[in-house]
A and B are shown apart, each in its own frame.
Chain A
Amino acid sequence: MEGLKKVGRKIFDYLRNLNPYEILAFTLLLLFIFPFYIVVVNAAKPNVDVIEDPLSLPRNLTVFFNNLRTIFTDSRLNYPRALFNSTVITTLSLLLIGLTSAMAAWVLVRTKTRFSFTIFLFIIAGLVIPFQIVMLPLVELLTALGRITGFQWSDTHHAVIIAYIGFGAPLSVFLFHGFIKSIPMDVEEAAIIDGCSRPQVFFRVVLPILKPIFVTLLVLNGMWIWNDFLLPLLVIGRGGETTTIPLAYANFVGAFTPNRNLQLTALVLSAIPVIILFLFAQRYIIKGMTSGAIK
């Protein structure tokens, strides 16, 4: 009894001495996390419980695994395929945007002609072009490209990836350009004396120096491409072969309204890849996303 009182007193003292701002921040944190709680908890319930009692904890965790199995095997969502497509599209787009933009930015910085500067302005002018003005002609253009080239463009990986390179180029070239300007020429000249060709100078000397800005762009472009909905909606289309996670989810919710628990299980599955990545690379993600905004 004495011991229990002591513990109680200790907890009470701890709470009393706590900074009131700490309590405020903690309350707000709970408020911010509440929607996540609701989703996760209800993803692990049978449909009846989701409708009648959304706040309680799930009674039986096997329901969650049953829901998961249903989602994984459901042909309308086809989660494994959507995950595969999203992964392929995001990874390849990120690598290619980074590489091609860095190459272009490097020759644009190192060639000091008026022509080179005009090209630079022409590329960063793309920053103010909203997707809305491009989308309808783009759909037509992809169909026309299919006719001209003899192979399919709409609803293919390569069309989506090339589109992302095009739309990612302005910001990426702009950020690389600013960064490369601050690299002294000495390093490159030294490499030339050692007998490097121009591509060798870029790939062996310049590219490694660009690592910090490369990471920033991986984060910035990665968050955008992974979560993008409008471009896949147009280039891939509803129910397309190369459907991505957001597209597949929108389709699934539209077709599958009565089973709310399954909708929420699918939602957990759609959000989980980024959340897991965030837990491991939190520092890079926050830094990358905010430093990109300020520049």
Chain B
Amino acid sequence: MQADASVKQAPKQSFKDRFFGRKTMNKVWFFLFLIPVMVPYLLMVIIPFVLGAYYSFTDWRGGIGDTNWIGLANYRDLLSNYRFIYSFIRTGIYAFFNVVVINFVAFSLALLVTRKLKLTNIYRAGFFMPNLIGGLIIGFLWRYIFNYVLGTVGFGIFSASPLDNNLAMMSLVIVVTWQYAGYIMMIYVAALQNIPEDLVEASQIDGANALQRLRNIVLPLVAPAFTVSMFLTLVTAFKQFDTVFSLTSAGPVVILPDYLRDFLNVEASLPRVRLTGLLAYNIYDVGFTNRNFAFAQAQAVTFFVLLAVLSLGQVYFNKKREVEM
């Protein structure tokens, strides 16, 4: 195969051939240039990935090797594990609110900062700034604000910290929106600035009002940016770990809702689950806190398949959009 291809290329590469000598020399350079990136990639990503996928079919308890193949047993356990199912549902809910709220806030901010304002650049930088700080630090920052500041500023309803009750998930959405909206805003700003000026002027001459202009000109032209941002926020929502770790530590702990208990036939008398125990955190927790390694790997493989489907969906939608335009 390879030989065929390089023979076809031969006339084009006449210069190279003359100066590099034989084709084998090209091959040597090809591999020498690949090795520096391939060794770390194989060692740190591919080998652990293959091992990880394999271990999900075993009773792995840590250490390399020394495992027994148990087939799909871990995956069967997943389907009846109420902690995992609940975590899956909570992640879905979180992802939905995360995508809607972030994109709404980000697009509104983008519309605002693309108007001719005096301090436009300062606004953009200011809204973008929270994105510079890592999710872990941001979680700790807001934990302080939720726990100790809100109560003293006169928000009577926050005399108890919102992180300790049903508001925990919404608090998480607010924090991540604060962190991420400025970033998504910049994507919308880039798209809004690409709208041709004359199109907007023509619509003004035709007497379209601001709302009509937004619906018939701005939104269709910004649609590709919407696709990009939707998937970006969706994938980051599923991968959310750092901020959960520092803001809520997956808490608060609650009793599994009755409808799920009946639906899953849970036998435990007080099945406890965590309100913000999202998938990525749950995998970490099962692996490192419970030391249930093989089961954590089965969850991780499921998680991987889910993310792979989302990413392929993104590629598919982007390609489709390209054809349309």
Contacts and interface: CB of A to CB of B under 8 A. Distances in A.
Interface of A: 19, 21-22, 24-26, 28-29, 32-33, 35-36, 38-39, 50-51, 53-55, 96, 99-101, 103-104, 106-108, 111-116, 119, 123, 126-130, 132-138, 140-141, 144, 162-163, 165-167, 169-170, 173, 189, 192-193, 195, 197-199, 202, 223, 226-230, 246, 249-250, 253, 260, 263-264, 267, 270-271, 274-275, 278, 282, 285-286, 289-290, 293-294
Given A54-B148, A107-B33, A136 B293 contact: yes
B163 to A, nearest CB: 15
B30 A192 contact: no
Given A132-B303, A228-B134, A113 B119 contact: no
B183 interface: yes
A289 B183 contact: yes
B119 A35 contact: no
B133 A132 contact: no
B97 to A, nearest CB: 20
Interface string B255-299: 000000000000000000000000010011001000001001100
26 contacts: A21-B115, A25-B123, A28-B112, A32-B182, A38-B145, A107-B33, A112-B9, A113-B5, A114-B1, A123-B38, A128-B308, A129-B45, A129-B49, A133-B301, A134-B48, A136-B55, A141-B48, A173-B37, A198-B20, A227-B134, A229-B134, A246-B136, A246-B137, A285-B132, A286-B128, A290-B187
Contacts of B141: 35, 39, 267
A260 B133 CA distance: 20
What bracket does the count of chain B residues touching chain A fall in?
Answer: 35 or more
B33 A104 contact: yes
B300 A227 contact: no
B149 A21 contact: no
B49 A169 contact: no
Of B6, B41, B109, most buried by chain A (CB within 10 Å of CB) is B41
Contacts of B132: 223, 271, 274-275, 278, 285
Give the residue among B33, B126, B130 with the most A Cβ atoms within 10 A.
B33
B157 interface: no
Contacts of B135: 227, 229
Across chains A and B, which 7 residue pairs bring their CB atoms closest together, nearest first? A227-B134, A166-B44, A165-B40, A137-B51, A100-B36, A166-B40, A137-B48
B5 A263 contact: no
A107 B52 contact: no
A154 B100 CA distance: 40
A199 B19 CA distance: 12
Contacts of B225: 294
B141 to A, nearest CB: 6
A202 B20 CA distance: 14
Contacts of A136: 52, 55, 287, 293, 296-297, 300
Given A229-B242, A263-B140, 20 more contacts: A22-B118, A100-B40, A104-B33, A113-B2, A113-B6, A119-B38, A126-B45, A127-B311, A128-B304, A129-B49, A136-B52, A140-B63, A169-B45, A198-B29, A227-B135, A230-B284, A250-B246, A263-B144, A271-B132, A293-B232
B72 interface: no
A273 to B, nearest CB: 10
Contacts of B187: 290, 293-294
Contact of A249 (B140, B144, B186): B140
B2 A26 contact: no
B89 interface: no
Nearest to B51: A137
A235 B116 CA distance: 49
A192 B5 contact: no
Given A106-B33, A250-B136, A35 B142 contact: yes
Contact of A38 (B122, B125, B149, B186): B149
A228 B117 CA distance: 36
B53 interface: yes
Contacts of A249: 136-137, 140
Interface string B1-33: 110011001000001100110000110011001
Most buried by B among A140, A163, A189: A140
A103 B178 contact: no
Contacts of A137: 47-49, 51-52, 55, 297
A127 B117 CA distance: 39
B148 A51 contact: yes
A136 to B, nearest CB: 5
Contact of A100 (B37, B178, B186): B37
Contact of B186 (A119, A230, A253, A286): A286
Contacts of A167: 44-45
Contact of B40 (A51, A119, A128, A162): A162
Given A25-B123, A260-B144, A126 B41 contact: yes
Contacts of B307: 128, 130
Nearest to A101: B37
B217 interface: no
Contacts of A189: 15-16
B71 interface: no
A227 B136 contact: yes
A162 to B, nearest CB: 5
B79 interface: no
A290 B190 contact: yes
Q: Which of A22, A55, A96, A114 has the most CB of B within 10 A?
A: A22
B162 to A, nearest CB: 15
